[in-house]
Amino acid sequence: MMVKACGAVTEADVAAAAAAGADLVGLWHGIPAGHRELPAARLARLAARAASGRLEPVLVTFAADARQLRRMLAGTPIRWVQLHGYQPPGMIRALKAADGLTVVKVLHVRGEECAELPLIDSYERAGVDVFLLDAVTADGRIGSTGERLAAEAVTGVADRLSRPFFLAGGVCAAVAREYLTVVRHRLFLGIDVDTAARDPRGRLDAGEIARVRRSWDACSAGAARDG
């Protein structure tokens, strides 16, 4: 099981994610008014810091211009791109034309409904590597909302996929056992944690990330034993 700690803004955040045993760290760029938005220069610096250790840096973006993104990524070690927002399948196809990019497409779920459900086949044909299931709030907010998805809603969408998926949305140590059916899913890849990964001042915290990792690892191990 993989763990992505999302929303690093300092080298200390990146170091905390690495120390906690995270596999990936999310770096925001192209998220208008995003509270963890990074200018391009700092994005490149933090990506290099992550890649110098054991972390895979992930660009998290609402951007819909593939050419501009590819120019921005040139010269950085970023090889994972996570598309939030409602980009069309053509965006994925254009990004996949760049050798070595792993593209993660967020699927936005409100209640039992997934806005992109009719596009899943098109995303997969376009070359998406991984999906990420995240919650949409009642007023339409997306990304780092801290709202949870029902396990039944997650598996309902996951059953429509042929690519692995991450789970996001209110992921924390306390709720791992509530997602046994998700962890048992044949395409479950890991979790994306943000709010529960932070200390009271909002900084990524190695102890909190490690606590989430231990809880979900135990859940994953139990699911494997149970078959």
Task: State how far the Cα of 47 lies from the Cα of 27, in Å rounded to an integer.
Answer: 8
Task: State how far the Cα of 167 lies from the Cα of 178, in Å rounded to an integer.
Answer: 13
Q: What's the one-letter identity of residue 101?
A: L
pLDDT number for residue 85: 86
Contacts of 72-79 with CB under 8 Å at 24 or more apart are 72/29, 72/40, 73/98, 73/101, 75/44, 76/43, 76/44, 76/47, 76/48, 77/47, 77/48, 77/50, 77/51, 78/27, 78/43, 78/47
Angle at 55 between CA 198 and CA 79, to 5 degrees: 115
pLDDT number for residue 112: 80
| pLDDT tens series, the chain, 227 aa | 999 999 999 999 999 999 999 999 999 999 988 889 999 999 999 999 999 988 999 999 999 999 999 999 998 999 999 999 889 999 999 999 977 899 999 999 987 889 899 999 999 999 999 999 998 765 556 555 667 899 999 999 999 999 999 999 889 999 999 999 999 999 999 999 999 999 999 999 999 999 999 999 998 887 666 65
Q: Where do we find the tokens 């048992």?
A: 184
Task: State how far the Cα of 23 lies from the Cα of 167, in Å rounded to an integer.
Answer: 14
Q: What's the one-letter identity of residue 22?
A: A
